[in-house]
Amino acid sequence: IRIYFVPFKMDNDKTAGIVCVFEDFTEQFNLEVARREFVAEVSHELKTPLFIIKTHTETLLNGYMDDKKMAKKFLSTIETEADKMTALVRNLLDLSKFDVQKFEMKKQVFSIDQMLRGIVNRFALEAEIEDIELKYLPANELPQMYADPEQIERAIVNIVSNSIKYGEKGGYVNVAAGSMYNEVYIKVEDNGHGIPKADLEHVFDRFFRVDRARTREKGGTGLGLSIAKEIIESHGGSIVIESEYGKFTRVTINLPTANVN
Which residues contact ligand ADP (rule: CB under 6 A)?
A: 158, 162-163, 166, 190, 192-195, 203, 208-210, 215, 220-226, 249
Q: Which is nearer to ligand ADP, 123 or 166 (CB)?
A: 166
The neighbouring-strand residues paired with 61 are none
Residue nearest to ligand ADP (CB): 220
Q: Which is nearer to ligand ADP, 38 or 208 (CB)?
A: 208
Residues 187, 149 contacting (CB under 8 angstroms): no
Burial of 22 (0-12, 13-18, 19+ CB in 10 A): exposed
Nearest distance from C-beta of residue 144 to ligand ADP, angstroms: 28
Q: Which amino acid is at 90?
A: R
In angstroms, rounded to a whole number, what is the distance separating the alpha carbons of residues 135 and 229? 23
Q: Which is nearer to ligand ADP, 71 or 95 (CB)?
A: 95
Q: Which is nearer to ligand ADP, 179 or 221 (CB)?
A: 221
Nearest distance from C-beta of residue 256 to ligand ADP, angstroms: 24
Distance of CA 209 to the CA centre of its chain: 10
Residues 177, 186 contacting (CB under 8 angstroms): yes
Nearest distance from C-beta of residue 220 to ligand ADP, angstroms: 2
Nearest distance from C-beta of residue 131 to ligand ADP, angstroms: 16
Nearest distance from C-beta of residue 205 to ligand ADP, angstroms: 8
Q: Which is nearer to ligand ADP, 179 or 226 (CB)?
A: 226
CA angle at residue 37 from 53 to 101, to 5 degrees? 95
Residues 226, 95 contacting (CB under 8 angstroms): yes
**Sequence-ordered alpha helix ranges (H) in the chain:** 26-61, 68-99, 112-129, 149-165, 197-200, 212-217, 224-234
The neighbouring-strand residues paired with 6 are 19
In angstroms, rounded to a whole number, what is the distance separating the alpha carbons of residues 219 and 100? 27
Nearest distance from C-beta of residue 18 to ligand ADP, angstroms: 51
End-to-end CA distance of the chain: 54
Q: Which is nearer to ligand ADP, 60 or 157 (CB)?
A: 157
Selection from 223, 259, 224, 253 nearest residue 237 by Cα: 253
Nearest distance from C-beta of residue 156 to ligand ADP, angstroms: 12
Q: Which is nearer to ligand ADP, 188 or 257 (CB)?
A: 188
